[in-house]
Amino acid sequence: MKMNGYCGICSICFEPIKTEDGVTVGEGDKFYHKRCTENKPNSYYYALERIAYELKINKKNPTELMDEMELIYKIPALNDIDFNEEHPKVISLYRKLANARDAYLDPKLFDGHNANEYSLDQILSYMKNHAVSNHTDSTTIECDACNRQGMSVYRNEEVFFSVDGFKDTLDESDNEEDFEIVDFAVYKCWHCLKWCTYIE
């Protein structure tokens, strides 16, 4: 039912929305109060729509979106049949992100990635398991592969590196002397989708 001057019911607070206050996610058919999307961006159904949209349009690392979903929905670390049954939409989006992450980190996209002194397997496994922090977009950085401008930058200035690979924090059993602290930065081109790495 539609009332004059209203565009629908807000899927966050379930109150009617005056037409001028209503927003959608992309071309989505659900309406929200603009203020509700700002105050409650992690509301159950809104966050599902928002994250699906970010996956669709964005240059954002799917690993970051997976981390975000884990926090919002408290997704168990191990596959949990009860959780999956209770939250089918959450799990379905989460699996989509996992597939997108694998495509995003396709080793072919790392051809000529720069930091060749480190093994690509170790770089990829670090990037799969940790959202590299400080995701920023730059419209001016130029891609070495296609020479066009515009890249997303992921960086963590303090990553621990040992013969076993990269990690964010040391465990109790780790011997500090086995590790070197590196500045881990990766750039993804918006156009050709290739990665460049700077690890030093």
Task: Render the burial of 53-86: b for 16+ CB within 10 Å, e for the rest.
Answer: ebbeeeebbbbbbbebbeebbebeeeeeeeebee
The β-bridge partners of 198 are 185
CB of 154 to Zn ion, least distance (A): 16
CB of 106 to Zn ion, least distance (A): 14
The residue among 161 and 187 lying less far from Zn ion, judged by its C-beta, is 187
The residue among 18 and 191 lying less far from Zn ion, judged by its C-beta, is 191
CB of 24 to Zn ion, least distance (A): 13
Residue given tokens 């700077």 in the structure block: 198
The residue among 144 and 168 lying less far from Zn ion, judged by its C-beta, is 144
The residue among 38 and 80 lying less far from Zn ion, judged by its C-beta, is 38
- Contact set with Zn ion (CB under 5 A): 10, 12-13, 33, 36, 143, 145-146, 189, 191-192
CB of 176 to Zn ion, least distance (A): 38
Give residues with Cβ within 8 angstroms of 44, minimum separation 6. 72, 73
DSSP-based three-state secondary structure for 122: helix
